[in-house]
Amino acid sequence: MSSITATANFIPVAQVSDFQNGTMKAFRADKRQVLVALVDGKFYAADNKCPHLGGNLSLGKLEGTVVTCPLHGSQFDLIDGRVIRWTFWAGFKAKANQMFRPLRPLRVYPVKVEGDNILVGI
């Protein structure tokens, strides 16, 4: 489930010309690190900090709209922030991790493009 609010304050963070399809980058927006990605001509924005253990998602892997954290392989869909995979751990380690760090979706933000400007709603 997304955490987009109807009263978002849109902040310019980047230029459309900064991106090629299938790329993502981190930017600062209103005291937050925000990940912006371009997938199939559409921009997505989310917290750059993984909700599992705080990994820098911009250093991870982007496959379609799914971003993978470089720390423990947690995966999130940038469309709505839902958890695809919490970690790459298996068995007891995975179960114990979920007890102490329950699944949390990635916070996503609305995006607007005005000319060459990319604005993220915070």
pLDDT digits (tens, 9 = 90+) for 18-64: 999 999 999 998 889 999 999 999 999 999 999 988 999 999 999 99
Please report the beta strands in 16-116, taking only residues with DSSP state E, as ranges in sequence order. Answer: 23-29, 32-39, 42-47, 61-63, 66-68, 75-77, 83-85, 108-109, 111-114
Q: Which two tokens stand for residue 77?
A: 């869909």
Only one residue has tokens 């933000």, namely 109
Distance CA 108, CA 15 (A): 19
65-122 pLDDT, tens digit per residue, is 999 999 989 999 999 999 999 776 556 555 555 555 667 899 999 999 999 999 999 9
Q: What is the pLDDT of residue 6?
A: 52
Distance CA 35, CA 99 (A): 27
- The residue type found at 113 is V
Indicate the fold that domain 10-121 takes in CATH. Rieske Iron-sulfur Protein (2.102.10)
